[in-house]
Structures are given as C-alpha cells and as structure tokens.
A = this chain, B = another copy of it.
Amino acid sequence: MKNNIRVERAILNISQAELAERVQVTRQTINAIELGKYAPSAVLAMKIARVFGKKVEDVFELEDTD
C-alpha cells in the first residue's frame, strides 16, 4: 500500500502531529502509515483522505502485494 500523505501534508502545511489530531489517532500511527510500515483501517484511510479533500484512491494506492 503506497500513499502520498507526505505530499498532501506539505500542501496543507501540517505536521504529522496535527494530522494525527485531526483524525483522532496518535502521531506514531500517522508516522507508521506515512512510511508504509502498515496499512490503515478503512475508517482511518477515509478520515485522512477527507482532511486532504481527496478520495481514498487519490491518497492511497493498492500494490500487487496487497
């Protein structure tokens, strides 16, 4: 599962901590997902996309291994 959270955060100019706060998870969760350590739940993916004003598919991309 790839994502462009870093880019979208840069556009909004918000930190991992602020994104975490906005979607109600810890900073470590955002960090891990952003770095691709694991994939989020659908709920979290939708919340993150919503913060960015984008669709889930515009922020996250399925890989062949998923």
Contact = CB atoms under 8 A, between A and B. Distances in A.
Interface residues of A, number: 18
Nearest to A46: B62
Nearest to A43: B66
Copies in the complex: 2
Interface string A29-45: 00000000001111111
A57 B42 CA distance: 10
Contacts of A56: 42, 45-46, 55-57
Contacts of A52: none
A8 to B, nearest CB: 15
Given A41-B42, A49-B57, 13 more contacts: A1-B43, A39-B41, A39-B43, A40-B42, A41-B41, A42-B45, A42-B60, A43-B66, A46-B57, A50-B62, A55-B56, A56-B56, A56-B57
